[in-house]
Structure 1
Amino acid sequence: MRRVRRCASRLDAPLAGSRIGRNRLVGELVRAGLEVADPVRDNGVDLLASAPHFTWTQPLG
Structure 2
Amino acid sequence: MSLEMRNSCEKCTEELNNNSTAYICIHECTFCYECTENMNYVCPNCGGELVRRPRSGVGR
TM-score range with shorter-chain normalisation? under 0.3
- Which TM-score applies when normalising by structure 1? 0.25
Which protein has the larger Cα radius of gyration, Structure 1 or Structure 2? Answer: 1
Q: Which has the higher helix share?
A: 1
- By relative contact order (CA 8 Å, sep 6+), the higher-ranking structure is 2
